[in-house]
Amino acid sequence: MKKRKWLNVVATATLLTSVMLAGCGSSESTAPSTGGSAEGGAAAKKELGAIAFYSPETPDMTKEIGQNFEKANPGASVNVQYAGTNVLVNRMIAEKDSPMADLWYGGGGFLTFESAKDKGIITPYTPEAIKDWPEVQDGIKVRDKDWKWIGTEVFVLGFVYNTDLVKPEDAPKTWDDLLDPKWKGKIQMPNPAASGTATLLVLSKLMEKGEEPGWEYFKKLVDQMSALPDSGSAPTKAVAKGEAHIGIAFDFMAYEMKAKGEKVDFIVPDKTPVIVNPVSLVENGPNPEGGKAMIDYLLSKEGQQTLANWYHIPIMKGVETKTPLTLEKVIPHAQELDVDWVNQNYDRVRNEWRQKFQ
């Protein structure tokens, strides 16, 4: 399969970090607390009212984002609705005639957002502070070409392991290592029917291996699993409890747990998805100005710092993060991904997963 090389074509990660938020280096220039027009014009500050915020990301983190936004915007009230990525997408599709959400943040990277573009659930918004962002910079796709989604941070898909049960030298280092018989019944991954994290894994492996060998890989991998929970964070929690030795997860999930004193650590596989995680304005949402304002906030220095405090790799330069990972460390591991193939095959692949494994 021919792949468009716009992911992981960076000469150096230094170049990437210097351009990720060109023109957005200060909190004054990047932190408008109220939304502008869909073309990016800033509106006068006003009470924003109730804002419905759909997100599959860490509930405590999104709750904190909402609380911090409310403090910065008296009169605003943020209602965070948590569920798995694909569950939220299906909900937004079902609500399309009478949308309940104002913005959607997060979902296992931008591939889910790409697949949602033609479903009538997200709409363009260009924040004034980042109106000069290119679509692709040094091989990294940081926003949709029509501004239907905007990257807020960088995620790395890999392995969380229990350090009491697995020695670092024995832990898997590649995706094929997960098929070793010694891990049978000791691994958990999220269910691709519900989780954007797992959907990203399935798409990336089919792109890398081709469809027939890719499905054969997952037949073997599923046989290694002790469980396939719907939540993307559930395997990490299972590893922390000792219910699994290895979990498939994003980097920040492991580091959040490790910071809480859990006996876990994270491995970046040899080649793996390294991808931006976006935010989108919901089409015809009940409070579009509130949704725009929250998008502005997520891309502000204060909003980016909140993400960084939760062990995410921020997309904005000059924000100090708690994660031990840096762009310089993870870019050499990044797998090439083909967005056109995703757009054409996302729903088909999810349906095939259900037919084969559920």
> pLDDT tens digits, residue range 280-300?
999 999 999 999 999 999 999
Whether 155-273+336-357 and 19-154+275-326 are alike in CATH topology: the answer is yes
- Options 3.40.50.300, 2.30.40.10, 3.40.190.10, 1.20.140.10; CATH of 155-273+336-357: 3.40.190.10
Q: Are 264 and 162 in contact (CB under 8 A)?
A: yes
Report the distance separating Cα 331 and Cα 285, nearest Å: 36
| Predicted pLDDT at 107 | 86
Instruction: State yes or no: pLDDT of 4 exceeds 50.
Output: no
Q: Is the pLDDT of residue 238 over 50?
A: yes
Dist CA 242 CA 161 (whole Å)? 9
Instruction: Read off the pLDDT of each residue in 153-171 and give the average, rounded to a whole number.
Output: 96
Kind of pairing between the strands at 122-123 and 77-82: unpaired
pLDDT tens-digit map of 107-125:
888 988 998 999 999 999 9
Inter-residue contact 149 to 143 (CB < 8 Å): yes
pLDDT band with cut points at 50, 70 and 90 for residue 15: very low
Instruction: Return the pLDDT at 342.
Output: 85
Q: What is the pLDDT of residue 189?
A: 96
Whole-number CA gyration radius for the chain: 19
Q: Which of 44-53, 93-102, 314-323, 343-352 has the highest mean pLDDT?
A: 93-102
Q: Is pLDDT above 80 for 26?
A: no
| Alpha-helical regions (H) of 225-250 | 234-241
Residues 6+ apart with CB under 8 A from 268: 156, 158, 251, 325, 329, 330, 333
The DSSP symbol for 109 reads S
The predicted model gives 36-53 an average pLDDT of: 63
Q: How far apart are CA 273 and CA 155, in angstroms?
A: 8
Residue 27: is its pLDDT beyond 50? Answer: no
Query: What's the confidence (pLDDT) of residue 138?
Result: 56
Beta bridge partners of 137: 140
pLDDT of residue 124: 98
Average pLDDT of the chain to the nearest whole number: 87
Per-residue confidence (pLDDT) for residue 22, from 0 to 100: 44
Residue 177, SS3 per DSSP? helix
pLDDT of 8 strictly over 50: no
129-151 pLDDT per residue, tens: 999 999 986 567 899 999 999 99
CB–CB of 128/32 below 8 Å? yes
- Mean pLDDT of the 65-81 span: 96
Does the pLDDT at position 242 exceed 80? yes
Q: Which residues face 187 on adjacent strands? A: 225, 246
The pLDDT, as a whole number, for residue 45 is 55
Best CA proximity match to 202, nearest among 55, 331, 352, 5:
352
Quote the percentage of the chain above a pLDDT of 70: 86
Instruction: Report d(CA 155, CA 38) in Å as an integer.
Output: 27
Q: Looking at residues 51-62, what average pLDDT do you find?
A: 95
Q: What is the pLDDT of residue 331?
A: 85
Res. 23: pLDDT tops 70: no
Asked if pLDDT for residue 44 goes beyond 50, the answer is no
Domain positions in the chain are 19-154+275-326, 155-273+336-357
Q: How confident is the model at residue 220 (pLDDT cuts 50, 70, 90)?
A: very high
Report the CATH fold assignment for 19-154+275-326: D-Maltodextrin-Binding Protein; domain 2 (3.40.190)
Alpha carbons 159 and 270: distance in angstroms, whole number: 11
pLDDT, tens digit (0-9, with 9 covering 90-100), for 185-212 = 999 999 998 888 899 999 999 999 999 9
